[in-house]
Amino acid sequence: MALPILVVLGFAFCVACEFLPIINTYTKGVLIMVGINIILCASLNLVNGYMGEFSVGHAGFMALGAYASAVMTIKWLPASVFELPLAVLFGGTVAAAIGFLLALLSFKTRGDYLAIITLAFLMIVKSAVENIEYLGGPRGMTPPVLTNLPWAFFWVVVTLWIIRNLVYSKFGRAITAIREDEIAANAMGVRVREAKILAFSTSAFFGGVAGALYAQVNFFIDPKSFDIVRSTEILVMVYLGGVASLAGSILGAVIFTLLFQALQDLGTWRMVVMPLILVLLMIFRPRGIMGMKELPWFLPKRELFTKRQP
């Protein structure tokens, strides 16, 4: 029962921070980025960790969510309390729809070729946005700043809750079975196609949600903010924290964001350090800190007493 109490306490803290001068604006910004990164990391972990595929296109879904929500808040919706939740939901839905299409297209391919398809998807999204004048083209857009700490926390909890429930459901079993052996899973009667599409769409939805939250806090988005470098950052978080682990996703996102802030002075050398960490991780600890392990808090009761295969 520790987790619900923690969630309530965390939410109370976030609301307190929003209305009382407990922490300064910079710290608040970093905390919101931690939240966004947790959503990104957990949702990418669904495809890269639990399903064992390799997607490099997560920044593309983030871009879709960011631009969809920016269009909502700038052009379509009047300013109101419902502006942010509607925009975030819309951003997630657009990303999920495109993710669904991409999963349909790429269903037969896997491994290296799936990585190529997600890479092509990322590049197509980026250069398509650059060519659409309605979205500001290469100049980008300036959405209003709407995301605050309680909303970021709310979406983190929703993401983790849904992904946790998905992973330990029947569909989640199917997804992990695909990771272990797709052909064998198919032979055992797992509906591989359905499971893949579900995992992809869910991952894309939360990628879009994170993008929407990011757009509404950053004041400025342009196609360059969602390139391969952004995708690599999310990959570093996933493989740093640990594959197929929600606790690992949180840990990876927190460590990465804090490290990213701490290395601010390095300038462009920071973009050397991050991939270098990724390479070293792959050579010396390929599954990450919490790889394939989970905190008991995130496990359903019936899982607590069964022994997990590493």
Partner 1 sequence: MLYYIAQQTINAIQLGSIYALIALGYSMVYGVLVMINFAHSDLFMLGAFACLLLATMLPVQLPFVVILLLVMAIIGLLGALIERVAYRPLRGAPRVSAIITALGCGLVIQNTTLSLSPYPKYMPELFNSRTLTFSGLTITTLQILIIGISFGLMVALDFLIRKTRYGMAMRAISFDVRTVPLMGIPVNRIISLTFLVGAGLGGAAGMLYGLAYPQISSGIGILIGWKAFIAAVIGGIGSIRGAVLGGFLLGLVEVMAVAFTDSSYRDLIAYSLLLLILVFKPYGLLGQAPNQKV
Nearer to partner 1, 110 or 161 (CB): 110
Site size with partner 1, rule: CB under 8 A:
46
264 binds partner 1 (CB under 8 A): no
Phi, psi of 238 (to 5 degrees): -60, -50
CA nearest to 45, candidates 179, 181, 191, 242? 242
Separation of alpha carbons 239 and 48, rounded Å: 9
Of 251, 250, 274, 275, whose CA–CA distance to 262 is shortest?
Answer: 274
Q: Of these, 30, 115, 162, 254, which contacts partner 1 (CB under 8 A)? A: 115
Q: Should residue 228 be labelled a site residue for partner 1 when binding is judged by CB under 8 A?
A: yes
Choice from 10, 29, 85, 275 touching partner 1 (CB under 8 A): 275
Q: Which helix (H) or strand (E) holds 230?
A: helix 228-241
Q: Exactly one of 2, 20, 81, 183 binds partner 1 (CB under 8 A); which one?
A: 183
CB-based burial label for 41 (10 Å; 0-12, 13-18, 19+): buried
Instruction: Assess 54 for contact with partner 1 (CB under 8 A).
Output: yes
Binding of partner 1 by 124 (CB under 8 A) = yes
The CB-of-304 to partner 1 minimum distance in angstroms stands at: 28
Distances (CA, A) of 298 to 44, 75, 161, 164, 172: 18, 40, 9, 7, 14
Residue 134 is a binding residue for partner 1 (CB under 8 A) = no
Q: Which tokens belong to 300?
A: 């359903």
- Both structure tokens of 65: 């969510």
User: For partner 1, which residue of 76, 113, 219, 297 counts as binding (CB under 8 A)?
Assistant: 113
Catalog residues that contact partner 1 under the rule CB under 8 A. Answer: 48, 52-54, 56, 105-106, 108-109, 111-113, 115-117, 120-121, 123-124, 126-128, 130-131, 181, 183-184, 187, 228-229, 232, 235, 239, 267-269, 271-272, 274-276, 278-279, 282-283, 286
